[in-house]
A and B are shown apart, each in its own frame.
Chain A
Amino acid sequence: MSRIHDMGGRLGTGPVDPQDGYDFAEAKDWHKRALALNVACGFLGQWNIDASRHARELLDPTDYMSFSYYEKWMGGLADLMVDRGVVTVNELASGKAEGVSPIADKAAKPESVEAVLTHGSPYTRDAAGPKFAVGAVVKTRRIARNVAVPGGHTRLPAYAAGAEGVVVLQHGAHVFPDSNAHFKGEAAEPLYAVQFSAQELWGDEADPRDVVVLDLWESYLEPAQ
């Protein structure tokens, strides 16, 4: 059973509003602040991008659906900071700092923010493989789940579990979120773009011409029989 964030294919969400939140410059002040706070706290080096995604996924489904986008980010951030021992629950509840943090020297500095953010942090690593060639027919794992950590983070959406598709791109080996999100190492694996016919995923209500492509790690895949 996947968590609430796994939105692909979900029914009942209503139409998309193309005018919704179009320009970041026009966003509410607290939206901008929430974004910046999340980005800045990443500089502290106490977690990785996969862990921060997982923190948002762990929100209670009721919160997840009622929170606006940046509320999810704030909820995940606060939970992650307590989990990593960066702040205490008492500090969150009282709003009062219990002394200066021992990692305060890592705080993002105004003069270096732009350089760090435009420097990037690539996710490609050296690793064995790839096992599948472009054009190979593969089948995704069913059930979509983290096999090492029960209930843990995975990037195989439920809608694409147990489906047969074709490798269309090899991306090299990338950090494996199912491991990295739980601080169990980067465990890089070959990553592929795999194309599925829309009807394979959604049945005959989908247009027979259409396709969906997902980026999937090698251990999510097996050769199709």
Chain B
Amino acid sequence: MDADGVFWQGFGMPHDHDHPHSHLPSDPALRVKALETLLTNKGLVNPAALDEIIDLYQNKIGPQNGAKVVAKMWRDPEFHKQMVEDPMPVLQQMGLYGRQGEHMVFVENTDDVHNMVVCTLCSCYPWPLLGIPPGWYKSDAYRARSVREPRAVLAEFGVTLSAGQKVRVWDSTAEVRYLVVPQRPIGTEGFSQEELAALVSRDSMIGTALAQEPGA
């Protein structure tokens, strides 16, 4: 309760008073367990549905999806054109669609520009193509610094840009999700789509890595 005896004002107006979550156990693992148990007993959560959600993002949806798209963009000019001009119908056909990936924009690295993606306000990320974001993407340090000193952040990832490249940072402040298309490594002419996809890491599609050199 706050001083007025009013516990919770409703999100219609912001409230900076008491926080109900403080009534849960302080240990985070116990807190999750306590809430899951309570919600299960209220019929609001089916633990088997939680298992399914975890299985989906652990085993079925991940950066292999994005790598497939990038490799196909490198190899197939018609597909490349579709991804740049109007990607959503094709991604839906390919089954690479869903929550947090409804509005994709592909941003391509060139000799002149290196792209990098962040969400400074929370942790927006293209789930259907990259899965659940890595811890560092959600860290205060990455969110704070990648817009202010992207080159210093890239150095921490071991990325050195070529002399002529500017950095373009995309701050995901809306429901549009950006995916970086890294430059295709030289010496990959004639590579199959699978061989190319193997060179495309998760970080290269966020912009904190380059595509892997063949044989590296």
Contact = CB atoms under 8 A, between A and B. Distances in A.
B28 A24 contact: no
Interface residues of A, number: 125
A157 B173 contact: yes
Interface of A: 5-11, 13-25, 27-30, 32-37, 39-41, 44, 47, 49, 51, 53-56, 58-60, 63, 65, 68-71, 74-84, 86-87, 89, 91-93, 95-97, 99-101, 103-104, 106-110, 113-114, 117-124, 149-152, 155-157, 159-160, 169, 171, 174-175, 177, 181-184, 191, 193, 195, 198, 201-202, 206-207, 209-217
Contacts of A8: 120-121, 143-144, 147-148, 171
Interface of B: 7-8, 10-16, 19-21, 23-24, 28-29, 31-39, 41-46, 48-54, 56-60, 62, 95, 97-99, 101-103, 105, 120-123, 128, 131-132, 134-136, 138-145, 147-151, 153, 156-158, 166-176, 202-203, 208
Residue from B33, B101, B121, B145 having most chain A Cβ neighbours under 10 A: B121
Contact of A58 (B15, B58, B144): B15
B78 to A, nearest CB: 22
Contacts of A174: 103, 174-176
Contacts, number: 332
Contact of A30 (B23, B28, B120): B28
A177 B58 CA distance: 29
Nearest to B41: A97
Given A33-B50, A118-B128, A21 B176 contact: no
Contact of B38 (A28, A53, A71, A97): A97
